[in-house]
Amino acid sequence: MRPAGGGVVVRGAAFSYGPRSAPVLDGLDLTVPEGDHLGVVGPSGAGKSTLALLLSGLLRPDAGEVLIGGVPAGLAEPAARVLIPQEAYVFRGTVMENLAYLRPSATPAEVDASVAAVGARELVDALGGCRAELDPAALSAGQRQLLALVRAHLSPAPLVILDEATCHLDPAAEARAERAFAARGGTLIVIAHRLTSALRARRILLMDGGRTLIGTHDALVEASPLYADLAGHWHPEPVS
């Protein structure tokens, strides 16, 4: 099914990883309008990656619904969204085949524009250019992430979900990549690895198991001792 855009609506969503397991999410309501940029933060085990999997349609809620552009996420056509996890996937083949996997019709100029935007020019040149054969085992985790980020940036998906997808990049490279996605258009949801990722978002979703709170950084610092504590334990870095 083809969604009408990349806006997200979650209504009463619940999910657990087994019939005897405590719910990771329980009655979650969330609206992410078309074109929004949402950062997601919370302690380990709060359900952030589970939310990313539900939004991508890789998991289905036990109760409630998760919609992309009015269509259930699990039924939305693959081109409707793209998820990049912490451990990004690349495959044997040429650099171009990896970069254009989600948009095979992309022109060399379009691929080049995404390479430049995300900040992968130096890497692609070091690999021998787009026609070079790629050996995934020879790449570092950060190099795999950069290639996967270019692939997502180039894709036609109106919804992009980055689940700590820049965790192996240094702060400057992370900032450049996230700026590129913010400028790309569409809806962007970033599971934050660093506080700066959340600060670059228009809004921040704080997750703590069944409890959630959404707002700006300043509002959450005032309203939530948990968020204030999380922010205090992050090392501050310039937002760019």
Q: Give CA–CA dist 112/117, Å, rounded.
A: 9
Instruction: Tell me whether residue 103 is in a domain.
Output: yes
Instruction: Tell me whether residue 164 is in a domain.
Output: yes
Tens of pLDDT, residue by residue over 184-231, are 999 999 998 888 888 999 999 999 866 789 999 989 998 888 888 888
Q: How confident is the model at residue 238 (pLDDT cuts 50, 70, 90)?
A: very low
Please tell me the predicted confidence (pLDDT) of residue 210: 67
pTM of the model: 0.91
Instruction: Tell me whether residue 3 is in a domain.
Output: no
In Å, what is the CA distance from 39 to each residue of 94, 98, 103, 134, 166? 33, 27, 26, 32, 13
Instruction: Tell me whether residue 25 is in a domain.
Output: yes
Look up the domain containing 56 and give its range: 8-233
Provide the residue type at 202 as one letter.
R
Burial of 54 (0-12, 13-18, 19+ CB in 10 A): buried
Which position has the higher pLDDT, 159 or 22? 159
Tens of pLDDT, residue by residue over 144-159, are 999 999 999 999 999 9
Per residue, the 3-state secondary structure of the chain, as one string, reads: CCCCCCCEEEEEEEECCCCCCCCCEEEEEEEECCCCEEEEECCCCCCHHHHHHHHHCCCCCCEEEEEECCEEHHHCCHHHEEEECCCCCCCCEEHHHHHCCCCCCCCHHHHHHHHHHHCCHHHHHHHCCCCCEECHHHCCHHHHHHHHHHHHHHCCCCEEEEECCCCCCCHHHHHHHHHHHHHHCCEEEEECCCHHHHHHCCEEEEEECCEEEEECHHHHHHHCHHHHHHHHHCCCCCCC
Instruction: Tell me whether residue 2 is in a domain.
Output: no
Instruction: Tell me whether residue 59 is in a domain.
Output: yes
Please tell me the predicted confidence (pLDDT) of residue 129: 95
Q: Give CA–CA dist 138/141, Å, rounded.
A: 10
Q: CATH number of the domain at 223, please.
A: 3.40.50.300
- Residue 138 pLDDT > 90: yes
CA 39, 31, 10, 6 dihedral sign is negative
Q: Give CA–CA dist 79/133, Å, rounded.
A: 26
pLDDT mean across residues, the chain: 91
Q: How far apart are the first and last CA of the chain?
A: 37
- Residue 236 pLDDT > 60: no
Share of the chain above pLDDT 70, in %: 96
Q: Give CA–CA dist 48/32, Å, rounded.
A: 15
Tens of pLDDT, residue by residue over 67-76, are 999 999 999 9
CB atoms within 10 A of CB 85: 20
Burial of 119 (0-12, 13-18, 19+ CB in 10 A): buried
Q: How many structural domains comprise the chain?
A: 1
Instruction: Tell me whether residue 53 is in a domain.
Output: yes
